[in-house]
Structure 1
């Protein structure tokens, strides 16, 4: 709770600072229209945006403001806004709409993993009442996951918005829709806030995670509504000190840690706190998923104050996770050590009979698991539900269904 009080105070102060600095007539302001952007939704405005960014990033006067004006629709081809910049903060204000090319052919001979990216920018603030539309349907239609027999199908598609090594930054108030793949990726970031954003993509859109975090520390994700075709929020490897609070999730695959350890690598994930989330119609609720071939650890994780409405797998730990038949043979020694996981104050309804499923490794059991004040029942009145635990050790207190944990 202390963490979120601190976050609220920081957010309040920073929001006041942003408002004051945006209205400061002495600050440096850069509109993409002044650099030749057309904003008709058909003309490629990428170079105009890059030219605007170049001058804003080079400015050392106050907190430079780059503005994407309202009532315009700007088409951007794959683009990277690079730092470091000369000012301690730089603001990227989106009031209009930014759209991606419809055709995947635009990415030929380019990096297909990203559309818009910010790299090596400290103190970046991206915010506004505008929208970012990834127009991803053509990518979904050639996804190998959904169309495995399609000649030329693709596993890779662009992430709509990447933040690469962007420290002490934020993303707020933006609407994001229809990304070809993940909507937001934080990679190599230290001290980054995501607040009050909306993410909207169809529930059957492939691999369209809402927010994915990788190799990052001190990340705050708050007050956001996420609906997608994959995890609403997922926590990847080499990540610690993540605080997720007040999230609406659905449709989607829930809030997940993982998958981790797919390549047999050493996993390092710790100090993850998820609280005050409402999940509806998702395929999973609170989930940790690791590959048996992985090594390393996941520790000190709290899922608390969660409410589930018609969720398929409300509480799940899967140390045998696999989405490829070729990689699923190793169920012997090894495994990621999962310990110190708390599921507390979790209520709601399940579409399946097994509401708690802790499928832990025989060679590397889950330890110090706590189930506290958990009440899950079937979405169909009168149907019985069960808890299933394999190689999971810990303690339970006021849990239904239960018990299933082995004594520590």
Structure 2
């Protein structure tokens, strides 16, 4: 889909409009700069040279070339484009990567974009345009120290298309702090042929006015997450996607980690997503004692196959890796205007979970859960407001009727659509 001079896409269910534009032309132009490749050496200096030679781009990683991105790269410019037609390869020396991350000044990102009016496109060739993190050796070594974040896009007015990521070490695409960004046809393949790929979060959409569509994500953490450590995520749409492997699904949160800092997210839409063999489907998580507001959230047309927890909500989340000191349960993130509509498929009854347990009981252990739950709603009293569940067609693989775990009924919910009880899931 290269060659578009402008692209405007409206999220019609919301007030705002997400607009992205591609300024990369298929025709080679006089002001195009190809990044030079030097066999066996770090190509990062060549990237900066291309940026210097063509400050407005397009900067092109040429096809049929594998570039050595042996040092972190920062694109701190505006009004330019980058075309990744060749492959980009991260270092295989873990110690060298850790050293670079420890001295990083941009949050540990290996490839980082900032500025305004930035367009990054990949290759339509399925064998080209891959960003290879060589994550397998990190996963097999259980090395979780000073891992790089793969790709940061903190851009105002941005366009991402046809990007492909293979075996990223950890966190993959970050749109945190980005605004007015379109991201389409993103592929993330973090499948392991050895140990579990911890923290291979797919796309962090904790920005504003974002549209992400047509993604394919195989990973070992949240496929798409909204609002983590955010104080104002709003107007975000994630749609038309396939999610699989040991993914943790479509997540709001975790919210409220800092009890002194409200976490606010609003106008979030997930729709037309199919999840297969994942741990979670639609997931909300906020910390014990957290504060903030999550408002106007919709999950619509969500299909699941062999998913352990298709519809899941907890307000007592704790990070198993860094739980911190015990927290007072004296506040909760308020949840208002949540809609779950048209969930269909089957629940993983017989082999629930994934290989990410590092504790006993497992971090995703749920008291009372037995593999038959269509939904688990762990609301604190009075915190879930104006909820609607409709067209929930989820069945356990064992063939028994679907059940529900529900702590407290959502208040001010005239069309809740279900009976809040610990037992059989009953539509109402």
Would the TM-score normalized by the shorter structure come out above 0.5? yes
CA contact (8 A) 1:31 1:66 kept: yes
Name the CA distance, whole Å, in 2 between partners of 1:384 and 1:170. Answer: 45
Question: 3-state SS of the aligned residue for 2:319?
Answer: coil
Can you list the C-alpha shifts for 1:276-330, whole angstroms capped at 9, x where unaligned?
0000010000011110121111110000011111100000111111123844743
1:384 to 396, 401, 406: 401
CA contact (8 A) 1:80 1:119 kept: no
CA contact (8 A) 1:320 1:331 kept: no
Relative to structure 1, is the Cα distance of residues 290 and 321 closer, same or farther in structure 2, using a 3 angstrom cutoff? Answer: same
Counterpart position of 1:31: 34
Relative to structure 1, is the Cα distance of residues 360 and 138 closer, same or farther in structure 2, using a 3 angstrom cutoff? Answer: same
1:181 to 170, 173, 179: 170
Question: 3-state SS of the aligned residue for 1:50?
Answer: helix
Counterpart position of 1:342: 339
Relative to structure 1, is the Cα distance of residues 186 and 336 closer, same or farther in structure 2, using a 3 angstrom cutoff? Answer: same
When the two structures are superposed, what TM-score results if normalisation uses the length of structure 1? 0.84
Name the CA distance, whole Å, in 2 between partners of 1:138 and 1:76. Answer: 17
Counterpart position of 1:66: 59
Can you list the C-alpha shifts for 1:128-162, whole angstroms capped at 9, x where unaligned?
3311111112332454xxxxxxxxx5354111111
> Larger deviation: 317-326 or 217-226?
317-326
Name the CA distance, whole Å, in 1 between partners of 2:295 and 2:426. Answer: 22
Name stretches of at least 5 consecutive residues in structure 2 with no aligned partner.
1-8, 103-107, 349-370
Name the CA distance, whole Å, in 1 between partners of 2:71 and 2:176. Answer: 18
Question: 3-state SS of the aligned residue for 1:116?
Answer: strand
CA contact (8 A) 2:264 2:293 kept: yes
> Larger deviation: 108-117 or 71-80?
108-117
Can you list the C-alpha shifts for 1:217-239, whole angstroms capped at 9, x where unaligned?
00111011111011111112221
Q: CA deviation at 1:259?
A: 1.1
Counterpart position of 2:288: 292
Relative to structure 1, is the Cα distance of residues 385 and 328 closer, same or farther in structure 2, using a 3 angstrom cutoff? Answer: farther
Name the CA distance, whole Å, in 1 between partners of 2:140 and 2:395. Answer: 37
1:55 aligns with 2:46: no
Relative to structure 1, is the Cα distance of residues 198 and 297 closer, same or farther in structure 2, using a 3 angstrom cutoff? Answer: same
Name the CA distance, whole Å, in 2 between partners of 1:4 and 1:173. Answer: 24
Counterpart position of 2:363: none
Superposition RMSD in Å: 2.7
Relative to structure 1, is the Cα distance of residues 284 and 10 closer, same or farther in structure 2, using a 3 angstrom cutoff? Answer: closer
Can you list the C-alpha shifts for 1:29-71, whole angstroms capped at 9, x where unaligned?
00012xxx22x4x3211111121123222x4xxxx21111111
When the two structures are superposed, what TM-score results if normalisation uses the length of structure 2? 0.80
Counterpart position of 2:11: 3
Relative to structure 1, is the Cα distance of residues 14 and 109 closer, same or farther in structure 2, using a 3 angstrom cutoff? Answer: closer
Name the CA distance, whole Å, in 1 between partners of 2:308 and 2:201. Answer: 18
Question: 3-state SS of the aligned residue for 1:101?
Answer: coil
Higher share of residues assigned helix: 1
Q: CA deviation at 1:365?
A: 2.1
CA contact (8 A) 1:98 1:133 kept: yes
Name stretches of at least 5 consecutive residues in structure 1 with no aligned partner.
144-152
Counterpart position of 2:105: none
Trace 1:125-140 onto structure 2 (pairs within 5 A): 125-129=120-124, 130-140=129-139
